[in-house]
Amino acid sequence: DAKTTQPTSMDCAEGRAANLPCNHSTISGNEYVYWYRQIHSQGPQYIIHGLKNNETNEMASLIITEDRKSSTLILPHATLRDTAVYYCIVRFGNEKLTFGTGTRLTIIP
């Protein structure tokens, strides 16, 4: 079973920040939060991961709450190419990735 809960779908206006929430209330101390996205039947693309500190890279920012029970992926300036299914995954060590149903993000022109 996936250890995360995400909204089924979201819309965001082009050029605005897209904020994708994820609940992982049963996360344990050593589990990381990973984000991937899948653009229309392509292979999933790694975005970012974090443990407890906020993380930022060239694609996105990851904000993890202090109690680590939820997180938000932020795409700062969404473009049409960011339309995809976004998966939030909790993972311990090198255990297998378990994909849930994700959030279908649609960027609206």
Partner 1 sequence: SAVISQKPSRDICQRGTSLTIQCQVDSQVTMMFWYRQQPGQSLTLIATANQGSEATYESGFVIDKFPISRPNLTFSTLTVSNMSPEDSSIYLCSVEMTRNFPDTQYFGPGTRLTVL
Nearer to partner 1, 14 or 59 (CB): 59
**What CA–CA distance (Å, rounded) separates 64 from 66?**
6
User: Interaction with partner 1 in 5-34: which residues (CB under 8 A)?
Assistant: 32, 34
Contact residues for 83 (Cβ-Cβ < 8 A; gap 6+): 39, 105, 106, 107
Q: How many residues does the chain have?
A: 109
Q: How many residues bind partner 1 (CB under 8 A)?
A: 20
Nearer to partner 1, 87 or 107 (CB): 87
Nearer to partner 1, 13 or 46 (CB): 46
On the 0-12 / 13-18 / 19+ scale of CB atoms within 10 A, 90 is buried
Select from 5-13, 18-26, 55-63, 89-97 the region that touches partner 1 (CB under 8 A). Answer: 89-97
Q: Is residue 87 at the binding interface for partner 1, with CB under 8 A as the rule? A: yes
